[in-house]
Chain A
């Protein structure tokens, strides 16, 4: 019986992230539109877009290979697994032993690898430029992410998310400058990875600046729907990662009752709403930066991650 409940909770977690991901994107779009004194598309618009794309015919280029057709599913699978490993409403779920920050980073890295390959597969110049830019940014974003992971892991003594979030609510945490630095580094990496505004603007087709959009320009129909869904999932993943690492209050403990789970779900919703609101405000307040400055922007994240790890060596725990 306990096993069935555990499997069911894990299943709910997986379905929850899948169902919520387009809603979060829609919410951020709505916030941005309202801040510009516009009505904005309805909250459910991303779901409708996905449905419409699924119904449409797939148009493939003559010289596309099998890679081009399989890549969307691989990207989606890796991102979905990564997103469902992050504790959203409860810690200590069935798969939480594998909810390791390094594993999640690796899953996202392989998704990025396939996306860049697919961008180059057709052989158009846009795909190539997008892949090249993505790879350039990745060389800075991934080390920054890893340094963030290391400093967080050194603090909690584990790279497992469940362990870390239960450590964060215990009184052992105290006031640490390393955690603040790691949070800022994670936010910068999240903004860059999700192609949000100062780095990339997926809403435009401007060849001078686009990164993510350039890689998926040749996709259509259900392939595009799957890739879009993976992008929504990635935004949700980073939002829940920030929520789980740095605002873990309200998460249900292992072996929690249904009431605790409900509280966990409600706090998760409010955390996502708060983060989405902040993202929308941030994006309307800031201007898009030049592509060549992105390396500097990500360099700050790397620097903060390194500094967070270094400062740990003079902190109380070590």
Chain B
């Protein structure tokens, strides 16, 4: 297979993942956010299956399938039901300036490129590119968790961060399947725990806005 085509497709898919992370940052409606997250997971599973195909590593297909079924189908459906039950789907989130967040995001992408391209000088070109883009997806996930106040979108930020980790793991050759499986299931467990917490927060404060916690602790009176 043509070496250039392999690289181009991998770059296209990983770059698309970074772009969808930006779209996640840009969304201000709940259902739009959930749909974008499903798309994020879908592109991730495409990217991982391309890596499986390129590296001739069939166990990566299982990772891709887990990403597709769990994160692109089951978790968005569950989150949608949570959103409907909490009745926050009409809520347009107050994010502190989308433009500023976007600029921060661009800065983070630039940072991850600078760091990763310096750290991985001797490595394989495909792995280098994948690692740099995966680090940007992780950082953008962090940024999303920082800039959002609504607990549900923080969960989505966390999940998209984890997608970046899977991308990095798929790019590195010889990652054993056990690691990926355990990461995937720990995310599912984390999702369940966070879901329970969401309902607890809601019961206690009648909102899922994280500012309520600050008020409760007496930080912003």
Where the two chains meet, the residues of A that have a C-beta atom closer than 8 Å to any C-beta of B are: 174-178, 181, 295-296, 299-300, 303, 306-307, 310-311, 313-316
Smallest beta-carbon distance B108→chain A, Å: 10
Residues in A neighbouring B102, C-beta threshold 8 A: 299, 303
Smallest beta-carbon distance B129→chain A, Å: 4
Smallest beta-carbon distance A304→chain B, Å: 8
Smallest beta-carbon distance A308→chain B, Å: 9
B113 within 8 A of A: yes
Smallest beta-carbon distance B22→chain A, Å: 7
Apart from A178-B15, A303-B102, A307-B18, list 5 A-B contacts with CB within 8 A: A295-B99, A299-B102, A311-B11, A314-B129, A316-B7
- Interface 1/0s, chain B 24-47, versus A by CB < 8 A? 001000000000000000000000
- Contact A314–B22 (Cβ < 8 Å): no
- Contact A176–B8 (Cβ < 8 Å): yes
Residues in A neighbouring B19, C-beta threshold 8 A: 177, 181, 307
- Cα of A181 to Cα of B9 in the assembled complex, Å: 15
- Contact B106–A175 (Cβ < 8 Å): no
Where the two chains meet, the residues of B that have a C-beta atom closer than 8 Å to any C-beta of A are: 4-5, 7-9, 11-12, 15-16, 18-19, 22, 26, 98-99, 102, 105-106, 109-110, 113, 117, 125, 128-129, 132-133
- Contact B106–A303 (Cβ < 8 Å): yes
Chain A residues touching B, majority SS: helix
Smallest beta-carbon distance B70→chain A, Å: 26
Residues in A neighbouring B8, C-beta threshold 8 A: 174-176, 316
Residues in A neighbouring B109, C-beta threshold 8 A: 307, 310
Residues in B neighbouring A316, C-beta threshold 8 A: 4, 7-8, 11, 125
List, sorted by A's number, 21 A–B pairs whose CB atoms are closer than 8 Å: A175-B8, A175-B9, A175-B11, A176-B11, A177-B11, A177-B15, A177-B16, A177-B19, A181-B19, A300-B26, A307-B19, A307-B22, A310-B106, A311-B11, A314-B11, A314-B117, A314-B129, A314-B132, A314-B133, A315-B11, A316-B7
Residues in B neighbouring A311, C-beta threshold 8 A: 11, 15, 18, 133
Smallest beta-carbon distance B202→chain A, Å: 31
- Cα of A265 to Cα of B167 in the assembled complex, Å: 46
Residues in B neighbouring A296, C-beta threshold 8 A: 98-99
Residues in A neighbouring B18, C-beta threshold 8 A: 307, 311
- Cα of A178 to Cα of B132 in the assembled complex, Å: 15
- Cα of A188 to Cα of B8 in the assembled complex, Å: 25
A314-B113, A314-B129, A314-B132 as given contacts; A174 in contact with B99, CB under 8 Å: no
User: Which B residue sits closest to A306, measured CB to CB?
Assistant: B106
Residues in A neighbouring B22, C-beta threshold 8 A: 303, 307
- Contact B132–A174 (Cβ < 8 Å): no
A296-B98, A307-B106, A316-B4 as given contacts; A176 in contact with B12, CB under 8 Å: yes
Smallest beta-carbon distance B17→chain A, Å: 10
Smallest beta-carbon distance B25→chain A, Å: 10
A306-B106, A316-B7 as given contacts; A177 in contact with B99, CB under 8 Å: no
- Cα of A300 to Cα of B23 in the assembled complex, Å: 10
User: Which A residue sits closest to B132, measured CB to CB?
Assistant: A314
- Cα of A295 to Cα of B12 in the assembled complex, Å: 28
- Cα of A303 to Cα of B11 in the assembled complex, Å: 19
- Contact A310–B9 (Cβ < 8 Å): no
- Contact A313–B117 (Cβ < 8 Å): yes
Residues in B neighbouring A181, C-beta threshold 8 A: 19
- Contact A174–B133 (Cβ < 8 Å): no
- Cα of A197 to Cα of B76 in the assembled complex, Å: 34
* A174, A177, A300: the one within 8 Å of B4 (CB): A174
User: Which A residue sits closest to B3, measured CB to CB?
Assistant: A316
Interface centre among B5, B12, B16, B125 (most CB of A within 10 A): B12
* A178, A310, A315: the one within 8 Å of B110 (CB): A310
